[in-house]
Amino acid sequence: MTTPIPPRDPRTVMRLARMGSLHQCRLSFMRTLLRRLQSQHWRFETQAFEIDAKGVGHAVYTAHGPDHSYSLVAFAHDLPPDMRSDRVIATAWDATFTLFDGVPTKTDIARLRDNVPKQEAGRVSDRELSLSRANRSVRLWDHVVDSLAAGHQPDEAKVRDVGYLMRTTAVYGSGKFGAADREQSAHRDECRGPFQVEMLSVYLTRAFVMDLVEHVARMRAPDTAVPLDPALRRKFGIGNSTGLGMAPFLMTHPVLINHWMAAREEAIARVRSLPSATQDEADAFRAYAARARLHAEDWSSDHPVQIAKLADLRSDMAHLAGHLDTADLTGNQPWNRLWRWAEDNCSLEGQEQVASLLLEPYGDLVDGLSSCMYANEQEVMRIDGAMPVSDLRALTRDIYAWALAIDWDQRDSQARVWYVSEAKLEPRVGERFEEPIEPYEQPLCPGRDAARMYADLRDFPDGPVAGFLLKHPEHRHVVRRAQVAGQFPYAEIRDNTIDAGMMPIDLLRAKLSFFGACHFDPRSDRWLRINMFQHAPYPAELASGNADDWTYPYLRKAAE
Amino acid sequence: MSWSLNEIEGLARKATRGAGLSWGLAEDAGRATRWLCAMGLPAADELANVLTEIDGVAYTEIAPQSFDNPWRAPGGTLCPLVAGACLTDMAGALADGEPITLGRTAHPLLLYPYLAAAADMTGTSLALEWDGTTITRADATSFLDSDGPDTPVTEKVRAGIAGAPTGRPARRAWRGEISADTAQILQGLAHRTYAPETEQSRLAGAGAGLTDND
């Protein structure tokens, strides 16, 4: 008899340094999507591809599911190089997209052509489920077009260095800029899981971009151009640049974040609890560990923080390989023993890589948890006004012990301010003591706010919380957070989100790892680049391809 | 113009904060406005009216002085966004059969999403009544017995256990129509939550300074 292992303590998991070291896993949303598309035999067709020699025009890629069809409507533009900025602050792009609910008519296309290229400055309707745009990676795009036009394949090393031909710079979903709200489609099986609509749009975008590069090469040199070799083609993902716009999400959707983290933690606990493993499962884990090591080798970044983390990760993966040479992975709760080894021997990067790897051989045991990763947030965010003040006090001490221990009078403890800029209506982080931004502070510092709330709560007469809230409306948002975190253990980040040393990229990485992103490449402490769907089969290959086992590069031996 | 419910919630939250209520009350006002729009009712217009009225007025003037019946605002008129939040907070008492009466209250329609939340949380049928209008929340369905529930102000509101629902069940709407005038008022208030750009924020706020054109 072995004892089941409980999920990890939120006080361990919900720290920014660890959240900023998360890796994709079987429950990541890209993988959930491709498993579904394959198992339900989705059909894909290119309904239109009307693009001229300069690369200007539109295309429509439709995915047909069992009950609904979804169409990526892509507009390709001829963007002058001086207008090519990947940032959300740009106003023109190489390509713009929307995911249309169904199959668009000519009238729909005309309407979308007037709006989608303008992005935030345009307006879409409740027939559209997402809005996005992408720019070329100039360094790779020109090389690939030149090579294909000249009749040969591009240089594999250059492909590996960049990893994609276009980078999306924003993928707007639920209700943004007039698009349909999530609840309008959330009752459909394929839309219920988080970000499935957005991931489908990105997956089809990757297919479009690859068709586009081949098309441009063919238009330039019809007599000599060749298509990309299919194996090399799969080495292209689709890039993304992500910044602060995404960061508040982790604090403004505590229940959803809980469900994501709780699903992954439950999956890890289930595998760790297994009393034994078969030789096949042990061999599978060893193969995944070797592939994850290749992934770590292929991953590059110029950011000093990530350079150091990558050095740690590579060393961890080498250390793991050595350990796996001799470790018994079959008896005596082998995965729990391996996890304990990782905790004792690896950096946070390595630990979280091992945690994600543990799930790989156990799809049957863990994949079903992906159905627990969505939330109806309207209902669960209500305050329980009948809770006794004494209970709220105890709850606050439990959830926010770390925050009550911080000296909030120290400048560094609240050096930062989250605010929204007037110019771009985007979330920003500023310096409280250097910029005139404090009056505009957003409620994105739960730790400090909990400490303030506790100071007023300490001497408040006993009675229902309703009375405390009537007297202290300024604490209402954090009373809600405390109550939510009391019900949902992973709802709250257990770290100071306004500390002088806080790095927003930790928040971004946590979210993006759940999307299934790889190759996190911070460009500063507040924005980063990633690669998505690299090595995944294309829509036309999906029926017979490897819909799930593509996230780590294949071992060279196996690929040959 | 047709707005998504997400856009309406975000605008309502920011506008409420811009008019001076706390973030927590603003979050609830955003959800309440969204929820009422999803019933096809003119929630955004009502919100724009109430925020215009309370703009610059101290919280203590528009909040109930205490939970003793009838609730009264020291300034004379209860704000439905504050009193509504209190109604949700008092869900347990309402479900226990203790009715709540409110004295003079502005735009009582805006109280309804908060009362409905209390009904749904406790699994109790609750009704809100004023000036011959009754809205009932029973089994997660809303019943409205008035064609013009957008009363600007009323002297008395009663919230409590519902009798048999009267009126028609509300239809589910997926979008909100917001007039240009209402949008302008709400956007003006929301704008107060945005920090004016400075040279420093432009350079540092988003972590710019590195090109992303390669």
Could you report the per-residue pLDDT of A474-483, keeping only the tens digit for each? Answer: 999 999 999 9
CB contact (8 A) between residue B201 and residue A428? yes
Give B30 to chain A, closest Cα distance, Å: 11
Give B8 to chain A, closest Cα distance, Å: 9
Residue A186 lies in a domain: yes
A355 and A417 share one domain: no
Q: Which of A553, A24, A27, A28 is nearest to A292 (CA)?
A: A553
With a CB cutoff of 8 Å and minimum separation 6, the contacts of B201 are A421, A428, A430, A435, A437, B195
A193 and A277 share one domain: no
Please give the pLDDT value at position A289: 98
Give A275 to chain B, closest Cα distance, Å: 42
Helix axes B80-89, B23-37, angle to 10 degrees: 90
Cβ-Cβ contacts under 8 Å between A and B: the total is 180
CB contact (8 A) between residue B4 and residue A470? no
A90 and A227 share one domain: yes
Residue A32 lies in a domain: no
A313 and A395 share one domain: no
A55 and A186 share one domain: yes
Q: Which of A487, A519, A538 is the last residue of a domain?
A: A487
Residue B27: closest C-alpha in chain A: A477
Among B22, B85, B197, the residue with its CB nearest the CB of A421 is B197
Residue B40 has pLDDT above 50, yes or no: yes
CB contact (8 A) between residue A428 and residue B210? no
Residue A493 lies in a domain: no
Give B149 to chain A, closest Cα distance, Å: 24
For the segment A310-338, what is each residue's pLDDT rounded down to a tens digit?
Answer: 999 999 999 999 999 999 999 999 999 99
Half-sphere exposure of A146 (CA within 13 A, CB side): 7
CB contact (8 A) between residue A466 and residue B90? yes
Among B63, B174, B205, the residue with its CB nearest the CB of A428 is B205
CB contact (8 A) between residue B207 and residue A180? no
The per-residue DSSP string of chain B comes to -EEEHHHHHHHHHHHHHHTT--HHHHHHHHHHHHHHHTTT--HHHHHHHHHHHHTT--HHHHS-S-SSSSB--TTSSB-HHHHHHHHHHTHHHHHTT--EEESSEE-GGGGHHHHHHHHHHHT--EEEEETTEEEEEETTEEEE--S----SEES-EEEEE--S--SEEPPP-SEEE--HHHHHHHHHHHHTTEEPP-HHHHHHTTT-SS----
Residue A33 lies in a domain: no
Q: Which of A243, A276, A297 is the last residue of a domain?
A: A243
A199 and A264 share one domain: no
- Structural domain boundaries, residue A211: 40-243
Choice between A57 and B147, residue whose per-residue pLDDT is larger: A57
Please give the pLDDT value at position A82: 76
User: What average pLDDT does range A104-117 have in this prediction?
Assistant: 97
CB contact (8 A) between residue A470 and residue B86? yes
Among A182, A440, A473, the residue with its CB nearest the CB of B195 is A440
Q: Which of A181, A208, A243 is the last residue of a domain?
A: A243
Contacts of B200 in chain A (CB under 8 A): 430, 434-435
Residue A160 lies in a domain: yes
A298 and A322 share one domain: yes
CB contact (8 A) between residue A176 and residue B23? no
Residue A480: closest C-alpha in chain B: B24
A359 and A334 share one domain: yes
Residue B167 φ/ψ region, left for φ over 0, alpha for ψ in the -120 to 50 degree band, beta for the rest? left
Contacts of A452 in chain B (CB under 8 A): none
Residue A78 has pLDDT above 50, yes or no: yes
Number of domains in chain A: 3
A467 and A417 share one domain: yes
Choice between B172 and A539, residue whose per-residue pLDDT is larger: A539
A67 and A156 share one domain: yes
Chosen for mutation from B2, B6, B121, B178 (greatest number of chain A CBs closer than 10 Å) is B6
CB contact (8 A) between residue A423 and residue B22? no
Contacts of A386 in chain B (CB under 8 A): 91-93
Share of chain A above pLDDT 90, in %: 88
Residue A176 lies in a domain: yes
pLDDT band at A426 (very low <50, low <70, confident <90, very high): confident
Please give the pLDDT value at position A87: 61
Residue A81 lies in a domain: yes
pLDDT band at B54 (very low <50, low <70, confident <90, very high): very high
Give B97 to chain A, closest Cα distance, Å: 15
Share of chain A above pLDDT 70, in %: 98
Please give the pLDDT value at position A533: 96
Give B25 to chain A, closest Cα distance, Å: 7
pLDDT band at A558 (very low <50, low <70, confident <90, very high): very low
Residue length, chain B? 214
CB contact (8 A) between residue B213 and residue A81? yes
Residue A557 has pLDDT above 60, yes or no: no
Give B48 to chain A, closest Cα distance, Å: 20
Residue A26 has pLDDT above 60, yes or no: yes
Residue A249 lies in a domain: no
A120 and A75 share one domain: yes
A366 and A452 share one domain: no
Please give the pLDDT value at position A559: 43
Report the mean per-residue pLDDT for chain A. 94
Measured between alpha carbons, how far is A326 from B28 in angstroms, rounded to an integer?
57
CB contact (8 A) between residue B195 and residue A386? no
Choice between A189 and A170, residue whose per-residue pLDDT is larger: A189
Among A183, A476, A504, the residue with its CB nearest the CB of B22 is A476
Predicted structure pTM score: 0.96
Chosen for mutation from A79, A176, A181, A484 (greatest number of chain B CBs closer than 10 Å) is A181
Residue B213 has pLDDT above 60, yes or no: no
CB contact (8 A) between residue A378 and residue B28? no
CA distances in angstroms from B127 to B33, B115, B197, listed in the order given: 19, 8, 47
Give B134 to chain A, closest Cα distance, Å: 23
